[in-house]
């Protein structure tokens, strides 16, 4: 049985990433089998509670209001609408629902209370419920945990060094602080990143080092490939080659053996053969639904045909850890504190972000 290590060096991770492909695949697949059923893949569904209008300047994101993209924005969803989408997701084979809102950070108030109610609702449907809402305080994490949240997603995106080339409105340390706040509760951590943003292999390794040296490691690591969107600073980036994705998935699997590795955005660009190699290399989750927040995603029927072809089975909810208890709002032990935490705002200049902000004005 492979040993779970928290002391990977960047050099070791780069050496794994650059191994001859057959050797890399064999090693990753061997570790994958030791820790997971290789024929089981989780289907997850992403629901966008509030799309667009975000104050941040993430260079990859069409939801940043400063960039000139043609995304469809939507007002904050109701609990009832979320329930309808969650029922549809469950019928489609999803065991996990991730709810996202284009916020810099969570603010106490009616919208957050509504999110807590959505968490209770989905928890009662016996599905794993995850949220991605930006930076959160310890008190907000506790309130989410009390509502029955299973996972909190907060991606570190890339290496600490390259982060400064992509985002100027918050710092890498804010991401780590939110993860630490989540870790003070029984919520599992989901944190990964994006490849194809112009980063080097060293940056990819740096991201995996940052995640694997967390103790405990994130239970879930999504690996996304950038889907360049017109109007964003990264609109001209080349699409990620499947070989890079396979290497990234395999390296993640070797460095974090027990983690759920999620083959996330960018999947639409790859054929079944490429995706099969990703599953072989250790990916054990995909997102279903024709959209991933704002970018296109694979058709569910096509995914089901792929599952049948490859002999894959859907992962059942709570297969990795127990279902969280959900406490009703009236019985809550945690009052909102109305905090105004001082998350950082480095504000350095990223030329391409500035250009994309100015362009089209």
Q: Which two tokens stand for residue 32?
A: 């994958």
Tell whether residue 240 is a contact of ligand SF4 (CB under 6 A). no
In the residue annotation, 58 being an active-site residue is answered as yes
Q: In which residue are the tokens 């694979």 written?
A: 298
In the residue annotation, 204 being an active-site residue is answered as no
Tell whether residue 64 is a contact of ligand SF4 (CB under 6 A). yes
Q: Known binding site for [2Fe-2S] cluster: residues?
A: 98, 130, 190, 262
- Among positions 58, 133, 190, 240, the unique one binding ligand SF4 when judged by CB under 6 A: 58
In the residue annotation, 98 being an active-site residue is answered as yes
Helix 79-91 / helix 110-124 crossing angle, nearest 10 deg: 30
Q: Which two tokens stand for residue 314?
A: 């859907």
Between CA 340 and CA 105 the distance in angstroms is 10
The pairing of strands 295-296 and 313-314 is unpaired
- What does the per-residue mask of binding to ligand SF4 show for 3-42, with x meaning CB under 6 A? ----------------------------------------
C-beta of residue 237 within 8 angstroms of C-beta of residue 277: no
Residue in 61, 120, 183, 247 annotated catalytic = 61
In the residue annotation, 278 being an active-site residue is answered as no
- Among positions 56, 128, 174, 219, the unique one binding ligand SF4 when judged by CB under 6 A: 56
Q: Phi and psi for 54 in degrees, rounded to 5?
A: -85, 145
Q: In which residue are the tokens 């057959």 written?
A: 22
DSSP string, 290-310: SEETTEE---HHHHHHHHHHH
Tell whether residue 102 is a contact of ligand SF4 (CB under 6 A). yes
Residues 244-303 that bind ligand SF4 (CB under 6 A): none
In the residue annotation, 131 being an active-site residue is answered as no
Residue in 120, 170, 247, 262 annotated catalytic = 262
- Scanning 53-61, 138-146, 172-180, 298-306 for contacts with ligand SF4 by CB under 6 A, the matching segment is 53-61
In terms of Cα–Cα distance, which of 262, 232, 244, 255 is closest to 353?
A: 232
Between CA 156 and CA 179 the distance in angstroms is 10
- Scanning 50-58, 111-119, 201-209, 279-287 for contacts with ligand SF4 by CB under 6 A, the matching segment is 50-58
- Scanning 55-63, 81-89, 279-287, 302-310 for contacts with ligand SF4 by CB under 6 A, the matching segment is 55-63
Between CA 220 and CA 331 the distance in angstroms is 30
- What does the per-residue mask of binding to ligand SF4 show for 341-360, with x meaning CB under 6 A? --------------------
Residue among 239 and 295 whose Cβ is closer to ligand SF4: 295
Q: Known binding site for [4Fe-4S] cluster: residues?
A: 54, 58, 61
Residue among 169 and 188 whose Cβ is closer to ligand SF4: 169
CB of 167 to ligand SF4, least distance (A): 7
C-beta of residue 93 within 8 angstroms of C-beta of residue 287: no
Residue in 96, 175, 183, 190 annotated catalytic = 190
Neighbour tally for 39: CB within 10 Å? 12
Residues 128-157 that bind ligand SF4 (CB under 6 A): 134
C-beta of residue 76 within 8 angstroms of C-beta of residue 48: no
In the residue annotation, 253 being an active-site residue is answered as no
C-beta of residue 283 within 8 angstroms of C-beta of residue 262: yes
Tell whether residue 63 is a contact of ligand SF4 (CB under 6 A). yes
Between CA 292 and CA 264 the distance in angstroms is 9
Residue in 58, 120, 131, 267 annotated catalytic = 58
3 state DSSP class of 49: strand
- Among positions 13, 28, 47, 61, the unique one binding ligand SF4 when judged by CB under 6 A: 61
Strand partners, 313: 40
Residues identified as active-site? 54, 58, 61, 98, 130, 190, 262
Binding site for ligand SF4 (CB under 6 A): 54, 56, 58, 61, 63-64, 102, 104, 134
């Amino acid at each position: 049985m492979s040993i779970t290590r928290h002391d990977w060096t960047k050099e070791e991770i780069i050496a794994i990433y650059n191994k001859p492909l057959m050797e890399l695949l064999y090693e990753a697949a061997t570790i994958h089998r030791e820790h997971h059923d290789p024929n089981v893949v989780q289907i997850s569904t992403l629901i966008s509670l509030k799309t667009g209008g975000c104050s941040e300047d993430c260079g990859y994101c069409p939801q940043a209001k400063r960039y000139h993209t043609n995304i469809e924005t939507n007002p904050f969803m109701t609990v009832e609408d979320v329930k309808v989408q969650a029922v549809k997701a469950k019928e489609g084979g999803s065991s996990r629902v991730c709810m996202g809102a284009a916020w810099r950070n969570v603010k106490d108030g009616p919208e957050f209370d509504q999110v807590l109610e959505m968490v209770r609702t989905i928890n009662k449907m016996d599905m794993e419920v995850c949220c991605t809402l930006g930076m959160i305080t310890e008190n907000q994490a506790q309130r989410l945990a009390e509502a029955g949240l299973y996972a909190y997603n907060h991606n570190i995106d890339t290496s600490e060094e390259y982060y400064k080339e992509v985002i100027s409105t918050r710092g890498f340390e804010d991401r780590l602080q939110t993860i630490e706040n989540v870790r003070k509760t029984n919520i599992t951590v989901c944190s990964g990143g994006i490849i194809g943003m112009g980063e080097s292999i060293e940056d990819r390794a740096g991201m995996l080092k940052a995640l694997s040296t967390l103790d405990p490691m994130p239970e879930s690591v999504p690996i996304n490939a950038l889907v360049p969107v017109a109007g964003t600073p990264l609109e001209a980036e080349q699409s990620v080659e499947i070989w890079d994705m396979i290497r990234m998935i395999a390296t993640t699997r070797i460095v974090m053996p027990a983690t759920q590795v999620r083959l996330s955005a960018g999947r639409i660009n790859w054929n079944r053969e490429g995706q099969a190699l990703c599953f072989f290399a250790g990916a054990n989750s995909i997102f279903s639904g024709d959209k991933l927040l704002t970018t296109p995603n694979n058709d569910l029927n096509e995914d089901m045909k792929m599952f049948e072809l490859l002999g894959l089975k859907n992962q059942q909810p709570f297969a990795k850890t127990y279902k969280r208890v959900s406490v009703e709002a009236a019985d809550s032990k945690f009052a909102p504190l109305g905090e105004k935490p001082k998350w950082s705002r480095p504000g350095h200049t990223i030329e391409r972000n500035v250009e994309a902000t100015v362009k089209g004005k």
